[in-house]
Amino acid sequence: MENKEHKLQSACVKWFRLQYPKYSNVLFAIPNGAKRNPRSGRWYKEEGMLAGAPDMVLLAPDAKNTLHGVGIEFKSTTGVQSEPQKEIQIAMHNQGYAYWLIRNFDTFKNAIENYLE
């Protein structure tokens, strides 16, 4: 993950945990992007690591109770989804989950507020 995406994700998590403490334990990162040596890469794949998984997952239904949770992918203003990320997005939608591509804090804040309230 590039530095801009890290800063954005960190700011969003900090805000979320302050605003929605009751959901703090159901919003978590999926650190797929870290560089690994071949041995640890194989190890994590055997455990279920999946290319294209979103940066974070929120395991809470929406306020209308129509969606099960959200996959959240953070990208810089010029960042582009990979093909595996696009495939995961479609799969999540097909299973009743939202998927957000977040490029700035305000988009995250508005999406969370609309989803949970």
Spacing of C-alpha 107 from chain mean position: 13
The predicted structure's pLDDT at residue 39: 84
Q: Where residue 90 sits, what CATH number does that domain have?
A: 3.40.1350.10
Identify the residue with better confidence: 39 or 106. 106
For the chain, how many structural domains are there in total?
1
Averaged over 98-112, what is the pLDDT? 98
Domain membership of residue 40 as a residue range:
3-116
Whole-prediction pTM = 0.91
User: In 3-state terms, what secondary structure has residue 59?
Assistant: coil
75, 12 contact by CB (below 8 A): no
Half-sphere exposure of 109 (CA within 13 A, CB side): 9
Q: How many CB atoms lie within 10 A of CB 73?
A: 23
The predicted structure's pLDDT at residue 36: 74
What is the maximum span of the chain, computed from C-alpha positions, in angstroms?
44
Which pLDDT band, with edges at 50, 70 and 90, does 42 fall under? confident
Residue 71 β-bridge partners: 57, 99
